[in-house]
Amino acid sequence: MDTKYIEPFIEATINVFREFYKEEPILRSPFLFDKEENLGWDLSAVIGIAGETKGVVSISFPKNLIIQLTEKLVGHEIDSLNDDVIDSTGEIVNIIAGNAKKGLEQYRLVISLPSIVEGPDHKIAWPTSSMPIITIPFDTSLGPFHLSVGLEDIIK
Amino acid sequence: MFKKFLFSILYNGLTEDSGLKDKSRSAVLNSISLISVVILLSYAVIDIIAKIYLIAFITATTAILILFAIILVGITKRISIGTSTVSYIAFIFFLLILATSREERAGYFWIMLFPLVSIFFLGITHGTILTVLFGLISYFLIFIYKGPADVIFIHGMGVRVMGAYIGVSLFTIAFEIIRMMAFDQLEKTTNDLVARRKQTAMIFNNVKQGIFLLDEDLVLSEERSFYFNELFGKTRINQPFLELLKDKLPNRDFIATKDYLELFFNKTVNPALLSSINPIEKVLITFDSKKAEEKQVWLEFAFERILSKNGSIEILGLFRDITERVTLEEQLIKEENESIKNMENLFQIIHVNPELMEEFLKDTSDEINSINELLKVETQDTRSLVNNIFTIIHGIKGNAMLLGLSNLSERLKTFEDYLKDLKSSTATWRELLKLTVNLAEIKHDLDQINTLIEKIISFQKLTGENVKSKKYIFEQNLKKSIDKLCKEYNKDVILDLNDYNIDLVPDKYKKLFKDSISQFIRNSIAHGIEDKNERIIKNKKPDGTIKISLEKKDDKLYFSFYDDGRGLSLEKIKKIAIEKKGYSKAQVENFTTADAAKLIFSPGFSTSDKVDNLSGQGIGMNVIKTHVDKVGGKLNLRSSSGSFCEFKILLHA
């Protein structure tokens, strides 16, 4: 069992949210994500991991939350999931990835740039069926979002 | 810039592949020519001023000739043009001076230069011939012509000049021979070196290994294999090796490498120890860590201490790419572990009763899902959450242990212990994350067991229907005893078990079913089913059929044993009733099938003519009847004379 690859992502998420969105995300108990489950995601940023372990880390938001967070960031009103939201979220998640990388320095990992997935109630095609996906719910003052991790070597 | 210009003048006429001889010749030729051109031109100017026009003309022409020859050399790249021109000009010019010089006898000095010029420029043979010729002409000019008539000729001086000339000539020849030999030797050595250098370069450029040297400050030497540069990119001069590695390895590996390399300069550490403690014997190096696209390579490093004669130490470093090997190895280990685990699981699974296993897997999967649902519920009270999960996991562990699934129960035990610790205080997110990962592992193990079972099932389907299933075994056993009976009675029977659901037989009825079926079969083959000939005459299928079926409706079990033989023969039964049971003729006159059936099930009744160990003992049917009555069931008989006979048993499930 290994959570060493996941923890830096959680810490980075909390730190970056605090710094950029001025939010204190509260972590709820993580659960096993059923690949067919719908958690009401409208925007996801997906980061690929390669190296000594392989897999995907995704941060997924419902529409309202990410719009409000972006409004906080840019300082003006936004009415839809426009390019501003997508671009800034990509940037933020990239910062989270970069931050997490610091905590992962001792491991031989390569972290890709985030790809943005957009669409109401979208699903993510997770790699290989045997890999469990662990979803970590966070609460913010504006609503919840999820950090999901599917990595090869989490289970042994 | 000036230096470059000077060199281009000095080496005028040289090509890229000119040898050392040409090089020295061209340098002398060009410098001498240039100097002489300058000198001659200045003499020409002086002569013009002195109004000696003829001399001025000759001097200027000579200078221009030389200049022209040099330019020609530059264009044609043929030094021989320059060297011969200069030599012949010198030939004429020096003799001219010798002939014309007055009391100062300038010619005497100039001619000393000629052997040097001609032998150096034209080589031994050509130069010597010209030197000798020059000497003869000089002799004529000195001793016979004796210079201008108004100038006094001193004979002794002429002799000394000629002596000196011969001396200079001989010395020049000797010197030139030595020089040539030295040059040849040098050229040979140089060519040899160049060839070797080429070979070394070829090896260094093409070897798929990093080869490099480190000095006492761990600075890279310039000489290293091309592969090194290919991987590590451009380096500066005096590049410290560690600096190159710094961003490319995990920090702990970097520090270990630094300490390790320093050990090489401690002569008390022996080489065997050094090679055994290499921290980067197998290391993953990340290149271009600043770009998004990164390249990761597994490298195998080796270092060797090189002791120089003067006591200084250098390190020879080697590395090669072992990415492919490492990847394969990792995959192999992973697959091996997985298959070991699978084998263990398989071993444990095949010792478990299939129904219990199925039940366990289903229940456990439900339990895991219920834990996951618990996790999804937002709660601050992690203590009761953990407690709930603990209770569920404890239950699953108990069941897994009961079934002997030791791998799984061990894992569950670890999880249980983890939860036990967690129960005492509010869990942090890290602990909750670990909890979920644990759950994922257990789910994964269960999935693996399920996959294994599915594999076994599909294997079974592939290799034949119902291999080793309960029904298969039952059918095989039954067929065996039918075959035996058929041989004995010379009958042919087909067994039909399609509607017989063996799984419906409860344990308490197992013996009843077993006894009944074997009795009915005996009865059918001994009495019911006709032999082939009789069946054909009666227009029946040649082979008799026995069909056994069992079904469950509500809480009742319906068992049927059917054969398409001759059915109950009332006549025969009546006869036996009279003979063996003491019935009167009048009593049996109005016998119905029901009465006949009753009779069959009574003790000591047999329709068989002979008594043997299989049938005709007249006890079988009665035993069944008694057994069925005892468990509160009903035994019925249905028959149509000549076409079939069916026994039915009705039981409480």
Collapse the DSSP code of A48 into the 3-class scheme (helix H, G, I; strand E, B; otherwise coil) and give the result: strand
Nearest residue, CB atoms, B437 vs list A3, A29, A108: A3
| Band of residue A96 on the pLDDT scale cut at 50, 70, 90 | very high
B136 vs B407: which has the higher pLDDT: B136
Q: Is the dihedral of CA B425, B431, B435, B441 positive or negative?
A: negative
Q: Which domains does chain A show, CATH number per domain?
A: 7-151 (3.40.1550.10)
Residues in chain B whose Cβ is within 8 Å of chain A = 250-252, 284, 286, 292, 294, 296, 372, 375-376, 378-379, 382, 385, 429-430, 432-441, 443-444, 447
Residue B465 has pLDDT above 90, yes or no: no
Would you state the pLDDT for residue B177?
92
Residue B310 has pLDDT above 90, yes or no: no
Contact A30 B376 (CB under 8 A): no
Residues of A in contact with B426 (CB under 8 A): none
Pair type for strands B644-652 and B556-563: antiparallel
Asked if A7 has any chain B CB less than 8 Å from its own CB, the reply is yes
CA dist B366 → A35, B373, B449 (Å)? 17, 10, 15
Residues 6+ away with beta carbon under 8 Å from B352: B360, B403, B404, B405
Nearest to A81 by CA among A127, A29, A117: A117
| Partners of B305 in the β-ladder | B315
Contact by Cβ (8 Å): B9, B2? no
CA dist B175 → A84, B11, B117, B121, B473 (Å)? 88, 23, 13, 13, 113
Tokens of B593: 């099938």
Give the C-alpha separation, B259 to B248, whole Å.
17
Q: Where in chain B is the domain with CATH 1.20.120.160?
A: 345-463
Nearest residue, CB atoms, A105 vs list B251, B372, B385: B251
Chain B residue with minimal CA distance to A14?
A: B429
Collapse the DSSP code of A31 into the 3-class scheme (helix H, G, I; strand E, B; otherwise coil) and give the result: strand
Fold of B209-321: Beta-Lactamase (3.30.450)
Residue B611 has pLDDT above 50, yes or no: no
Q: Where in chain B is the domain with CATH 3.30.450.20?
A: 209-321
Q: What totals of helices (H) and strands (E) does chain A contain, helices first?
A: 3, 8
Contact A32 B294 (CB under 8 A): no
Q: How far apart are the first and last CA of chain A?
A: 6
Contact A110 B372 (CB under 8 A): no
Contact A10 B250 (CB under 8 A): no
Collapse the DSSP code of B307 into the 3-class scheme (helix H, G, I; strand E, B; otherwise coil) and give the result: strand
Give the C-alpha separation, B15 to B604, whole Å.
131
Q: What is the pLDDT of residues B27-80, one digit of tens each?
A: 888 888 889 899 889 988 998 998 888 888 888 888 898 899 888 888 888 888
Q: How far apart are the first and last CA of chain B?
A: 114
Give the C-alpha separation, B238 to B175, whole Å.
45
What's the mean pLDDT in B604-625? 58
Residue found under tokens 């905590």: A103
Give the C-alpha separation, B588 to B573, whole Å.
9
**A positions 101-120 inside 8 Å of B (CB):** 105-108, 110, 112-113
Would you state the pLDDT for residue B464?
58
Nearest residue, CB atoms, A132 vs list B294, B430, B440: B440
Closest-CA distance, A118 to chain B, in angstroms, reads 22
Give the C-alpha separation, B208 to B321, whole Å.
8
Give the C-alpha separation, B66 to B56, whole Å.
15
- Is domain B470-652 given the CATH code 3.30.565.10 in the classification? yes
Q: Which CATH architecture has domain B345-463?
A: Up-down Bundle (1.20)
Q: What is the pLDDT of residues B514-562, one digit of tens each?
A: 778 888 888 888 888 888 888 888 888 889 999 999 998 888 999 999 9
Contact B436 A134 (CB under 8 A): yes
* Mutation to test the B interface, candidates A32, A109, A133, most B Cβ within 10 Å: A32
Q: Where in chain B is the domain with CATH 3.30.565.10?
A: 470-652
A vs B: CB pairs below 8 A: 79
Residues 6+ away with beta carbon under 8 Å from B143: B155, B158
List alpha helices for A17-62, DSSP H: none
Would you state the pLDDT for residue B131?
95
Closest-CA distance, B213 to chain A, in angstroms, reads 27
Asked if A128 has any chain B CB less than 8 Å from its own CB, the reply is no
